[in-house]
Structure 1
């Protein structure tokens, strides 16, 4: 079976050099969407937000909010069955913000790694695609938060594992995780902490194929999967084969938030933050989260440039 595992107490350095399965997750997938998901939640203008747009700010295209988006995987963003209509939580949030600012929405498809240069060069006004606020990024960009960055543990529906929220909860479990990711580093730290306490060994598994991963989980070869909550929650809701048993911040032990990124000093961040807060109050924000099964990642209030994850 194409997986690699290491037991607690063995050398873990070799784990970091293994190829993970996350690349398989990054491709667009064929998913049946509801009629609501194929459309967009719309919003009215927010005068208080519009007034905060700097008088001298020049939009990439007058009258439009040009936003970088990364079509590839739901619930974040993908193309509908016509292969041209962007759907997903991030296009939905972009639409809410554009509507609030009294602008038309223009989505620019890019590779995720290209958003920083695109903002700096003025190719688009904002980037909206699962971007975590970090102190290093704040040196070049402004941020308006709209989701909590969560990691989630998922188990089969018939699993006896009821809760995984702290290091002790993974003792004795066989956990699937993607190699080279932040969640892997957190899991390995948890395992080391358990070893120091004399708790049962945990087994870490890595898969290169999502289908094989699913089989391992459903067959009992593995007990749980740890990964980004957003993608796992969407998959769980659609397939009804797994369930959420616990989650924590993607920056554990620090709190991490997902935000709209804009060019540093452009002046758009405050306007976007006010727009988001009005949509939180009005309910449109909650509708977007609910339709993509992301309610667990809701923020009570959007913030401009909050503390970010520390520099590495």
Structure 2
């Protein structure tokens, strides 16, 4: 797919940046916060400047219970811009929620999202049927595919952020050996760090120590206070922190691009929603809405030509 050039659009204050400098972010997050978007009008629903209309044929594919409820339920993370986060008005924002809103509109549904900072509860919540979906930052792994379906809608790479002036130079996995590394609890980055630990041990080097954090802001605070050397997460999210030259003063992104991986929408295996969500996202890809929505958030990398359910790894 042809990539967009970065576009100028409304600039939302990066919540994650302030979180990195203040513990108070944790108090601002709530498992009970929710975001419910109005359903389609007869003219359609506007998402990120794009008008989305209902597709009756795709809507007919919905499970009866979902069609009757009129809602696409989701659990969304509160602090991973530009993927999914709470903006300065405590409203759910990011390309993931916007793609979810557009998909819901195609299916004639309301997008009904609960917002949480406890990422490690997301997969269990989808597995047990509490939520239909979760959008963005759900990296495809064998472990996750064993319990939920994942519709891949984007390709991401893993990056590392450190404190500015730390003197660290990290351009290869073995340069993480011996360091104190943080990652999000329940995230695929912990699995990647297990692989890096094995690499270091095989080379006879000291393995990195690993700390997991419930929220990105807490991890960044740990970096800034020298409790850990680095934080490892999606590189696109790290780039957001440093956008416009100062939303996260005091940090720097290292050169490492580790393991390009597919990410997307986690869907309950028994929900009956995987096929219809895949079809709806592909409609958005085909008509150009997908590219425009991601472009609204300056995501001009990792776009896919086709959404694929449970891609082979």
Task: State the TM-score bracket (shorter-chain normalisation).
Answer: 0.5 to 0.7
Residue 298 to residue 92, structure 1, CA distance change in 2 (3 Å): same
Question: For 2:101, which of 84, 90, 95 is the aligned residue?
Answer: 95
What is the SS of the residue equivalent to 1:210? helix
TM-score by length of 1: 0.63
What is the SS of the residue equivalent to 1:266? coil
Alpha-carbon deviation of 1:230? 3.6
The answer on 1:133 being equivalent to 2:140 is: yes
Give the distance between the partners of 1:263 and 1:212, measured in 2 at CA: 34
What is the SS of the residue equivalent to 1:307? coil
The answer on 1:44 being equivalent to 2:63 is: no
What is the SS of the residue equivalent to 2:64? coil
Question: Hey, what does 1:245 align to over in structure 2?
Answer: 255
Alpha-carbon deviation of 1:259? 2.6
Residue 101 to residue 91, structure 1, CA distance change in 2 (3 Å): same
The answer on 1:184 being equivalent to 2:189 is: no
Residue 287 to residue 261, structure 1, CA distance change in 2 (3 Å): same
Give the distance between the partners of 1:118 and 1:274, measured in 2 at CA: 23
What is the SS of the residue equivalent to 2:105? helix
Residue 225 to residue 193, structure 1, CA distance change in 2 (3 Å): farther
Alpha-carbon deviation of 1:44? 2.0
Residue 236 to residue 193, structure 1, CA distance change in 2 (3 Å): farther
What is the SS of the residue equivalent to 1:93? helix
Alpha-carbon deviation of 1:300? 3.3
Unaligned runs of 5+ in 2: 1-19, 30-45, 212-217
Give the distance between the partners of 1:25 and 1:231, measured in 2 at CA: 20
Is the Cα contact below 8 Å between 1:43 and 1:99 reproduced in 2?
no
What is the SS of the residue equivalent to 2:256? strand
Give the number of the structure whose residues are more often strand, by fraction: 2
What is the SS of the residue equivalent to 1:300? strand
Aligned length: 259
Residue 202 to residue 140, structure 1, CA distance change in 2 (3 Å): closer
Question: Hey, what does 2:71 align to over in structure 1?
Answer: 64
Question: Hey, what does 1:105 align to over in structure 2?
Answer: 111
Residue 29 to residue 122, structure 1, CA distance change in 2 (3 Å): closer
Unaligned runs of 5+ in 1: 1-20, 31-38, 196-200, 250-254
> Larger Cα Rg: Structure 1 or Structure 2?
1
Question: For 1:82, which of 89, 93, 97 is the aligned residue?
Answer: 89
Q: In the TM superposition, what are the counterparts of 1:1-312 in structure 2 within 5 Å?
A: 27=26, 40-41=47-48, 42-45=50-53, 47=55, 50=58, 53-54=61-62, 56-59=63-66, 62-83=69-90, 85-110=91-116, 111-154=118-161, 164-165=171-172, 167=174, 170=175, 177-178=181-182, 181-192=190-201, 195=204, 210-211=220-221, 213-214=223-224, 226-237=232-243, 238-239=247-248, 242-243=252-253, 245-249=255-259, 256-307=261-312
Residue 114 to residue 193, structure 1, CA distance change in 2 (3 Å): closer
Residue 225 to residue 112, structure 1, CA distance change in 2 (3 Å): closer
Alpha-carbon deviation of 1:125? 2.6
